Copies of this chain bind each other. A is one copy, B any other.
Amino acid sequence: MQDVAEAAGVSLKTVSRVVNNEPRVSEETKERVKQAISALGFRRNDIARSLRRGQASSTIGLIIEDIANPFYSSIALGVEQVAQQYNYMVIMSNSEEHPLRERELANALLRRRVEGLLIVPAGRDHSYLLPELQLGTPIIFLDRPPINLPADVILLENQGGARKAINHLLERGHRRIGLICGDPLVHTGSGRTAGYREALAGYGVPIDETLMYFGCDAAPQAQAAIQALLALPEPPTAIFTTSNRISVAVLRFLYQQRKQLAFIGFDDFDFADLLPLPVTVVAHNPVEFGKIAAELLFARLNGDSRPPQRLILPTELIVRGSGELPPSNLH
């Protein structure tokens, strides 16, 4: 440790402050210490451990969007099951989709000396994590890739999953297919929209922008979108939604209005099979997603030094009835 302090030209105390993410260290000093650690080939955890006299935190940090969303609570379950096997515990936090909050949480977790981070990112720039990554703290991104940071990422087959759904509707004769999507700038939204466009193009069906609604993650926006789509002079005969939350809002609206039209949603959900018209979905396994991410994190902690990995998890179309209604069945 003395080596690091000497190389950086600072006191041991300052090295300790930097490694533990404590306040009151200038950015310039931080950078110098981190470069010294990096140049000497140490890993942050080794440093931290030595400063703590042999005691590692045995915790990892998990930042998700909202634990009350079953997609994220299933991921959290998978992460925790793997962490248990390694005798680690998980500090869990919700970014609520705020970029600034994601950054605050990441820093708050690192101050608590987590040995690795799993992040479903909300922000659009993750370069702030570069020094930490260079110090050897494993950081794995889930569901959306990091931006400006060469880190591991695990994604769903977004484009392919959406393409399967739209092809399924096209094969049944649908040509006017409404898209109700979340934020199109988020990786999942853009990938699923790309799959929608790609499938239509493959069938030679021109894209009609009036059938596409974005920014519909919240129920009121999703319900406004389906209402507007149904009010078109030539309404769609089928709907594709890009997430479980949007599906629920749209289906609730359709039931209340006693409207029935072909429907496929991305993400499976409880009761999709029990609704009056069972719901066809693009399914995947979020518990497995969490497990795979945590396994990669522990591999990194245990010395796996491959270049950043990018894993794509498969999706599966589950046919239940709503996606098989013919175009004529509108209203």
Contacts and interface: CB of A to CB of B under 8 A. Distances in A.
Contacts of A135: none
**Which among A57, A58, A74, A274 has the greatest number of chain B C-beta atoms within 10 A?**
A274
Contacts of A108: 87, 89
Contact of A252 (B74, B112, B274): B274
Copies in the complex: 2
A299 interface: no
Interface of A: 57-59, 66-68, 70, 73-74, 76-77, 80-81, 84, 87, 89-94, 105, 108-109, 112, 248, 251-252, 255, 269-271, 273-276, 287
Contact of A92 (B57, B66, B90, B276): B90
A91 B91 contact: yes
Given A59-B112, A87-B108, A269-B270, 15 more contacts: A59-B91, A67-B73, A68-B77, A73-B73, A76-B92, A77-B94, A89-B91, A89-B105, A90-B91, A90-B93, A91-B91, A270-B271, A271-B271, A271-B274, A275-B275
A89 B59 CA distance: 12
A80 B59 CA distance: 17
Nearest to A255: B274
Nearest to A83: B93
A209 to B, nearest CB: 31
Nearest to A105: B89
A329 B112 CA distance: 59
Contacts of A77: 66-68, 94
A186 to B, nearest CB: 21
